[in-house]
Amino acid sequence: MRAGGRVLAVQSYFLLDQDVLEGIRLDRSSLIARIRRRYPRFLKLRTLMLGCTAGEGHIARSAKLTAATVAKALSRGIVAQACALGAQMIVLKEFPRKARRELACFERAGFGRAPSMPMTTLDIDYDSFDDYMEKALSAKMRRDLRKKFRAAESANLEMTVTINAASFIDEIYPLCRSTNAPVSTSRN
């Protein structure tokens, strides 16, 4: 989201080719298989997935913008962004029930809401990371990781955990742009 040429919020999204028939076993001689030999993208939709690739989706927010304000701007601009990317379908992926009020603007803009399966979780029951490495990883993988950890230690890396990246946005946004990752910036 931009205001006066300054980026105020960045919303993550990704693209995928959604096979409408995913999960259906197609016999090589079926009508669909024969059609796909000639038209490989038959019943496959380029999809703009708004949210996180592996986890719960969250609408961007900042000290100056509420999630509802960002969601409203997204609901107005996401269709144009999807068209520009050649996406035929837009999905808000894995947004929690508590975000429904903030996301109601999408329904008012003509989007439909459909139930989905609950997110999967994986219980990793190890006493520590070292215990995980010892019990779950092969000797080669442990050796490779230790080598990478040593390289990281000598690189003087610093890690910061934050729940609000607003103070880092001027550094994060150019990094996103330089990786060719899709970044959506909506205007008010």
pLDDT at 82 (0 to 100): 93
Domain count of the fold of the chain? 1
Task: Give the domain range for residue 97.
Answer: 2-118+179-184
Torsion angle of C-alpha atoms 1, 88, 53, 188, degrees rounded to 10 = 10
Q: Is residue 144 part of a domain?
A: no
**Could you tell me if residue 14 is inside a domain?**
yes
Average pLDDT, the chain: 84
Residue 47 falls inside a structural domain: yes
pLDDT on residue 48: 93
Which of 22-31, 41-50, 91-100 is least confident?
22-31
Residue 171 has pLDDT above 60, yes or no: yes
In a domain, 160, yes or no: no
Does the pLDDT of residue 70 top 70, yes or no? yes
In a domain? residue 92: yes
- Number of H helices and E strands in the chain, helices first, is 6, 6
pTM of the model: 0.62
Q: Residue 186's pLDDT is what? A: 45
